[in-house]
Structure 1
Amino acid sequence: MSRADITALVTALGDIAAVLREADPVDKAEVYRQLGLRLNYQPETQTVRAKVDLSAHRGVMVCVRGGT
């Protein structure tokens, strides 16, 4: 992906973030499930730990940085 492609993707995701913020909790949970995303709230520290299960995605893996 080019820098412009990544910028466009991040910009588009900004709109998705706004929609998710206002979404019905059941719908939001389904989107997170389909993305393989789990959020765990830690009340002691008032933090959220996010975990993504990449095996949930059956598409093509793309590396956004150059070779090493």
Structure 2
Amino acid sequence: MSRAEITTLVNPLGDITAVLRDADPADKAEVYRQLGLRLTYRPETQTVRAEVDLSAHRRIFIGVRGGT
């Protein structure tokens, strides 16, 4: 994705990021879990490693033909 495409997707999330920033830690953890996002804080370097499990977002759609 280009920088412009990412910006177009992320900008509307502005209010969501504010809500998450101020959210209860348990609620925030649940949102991250549902997104497949894992954040690991490394105090020795004061950094956060972010990982996303993309398999959590795969959906299987099955269509059945015939009478309804």
Query: Quick check: TM above 0.5?
Result: yes
CA distance in 1, matches of 2:43, 2:10: 30
- Structure 2 gaps, min length 5: 60-68
Q: What letter matches 1:20 in structure 2?
A: L
Alignment of 1:32-43 (within 5 A): 32-43=32-43
State the match for 2:63 in structure 1. Answer: none
* Secondary structure of 1:38 counterpart: strand
Question: Is 1:44 aligned with 2:44?
Answer: yes
State TM-score, norm by structure 1. 0.72
Q: What letter matches 2:25 in structure 1?
A: P
State the match for 1:62 in structure 2. Answer: none
- Structure 1 gaps, min length 5: 60-68
Q: Give CA-to-partner distance per residue, 1:37-60, whole Å, 9 cap, x none.
A: 00000011000000000000024x
CA distance in 2, matches of 1:10, 1:46: 25
Aligned identity (percent) is 78
CA distance in 2, matches of 1:32, 1:40: 12
CA distance in 2, matches of 1:10, 1:33: 19
CA distance in 2, matches of 1:11, 1:43: 30
Q: Could you list the runs of 4 or more consecutive aligned residues of structure 1 that deviate by over 4 angstroms after TM superposition? A: none
State the match for 2:22 in structure 1. Answer: 22
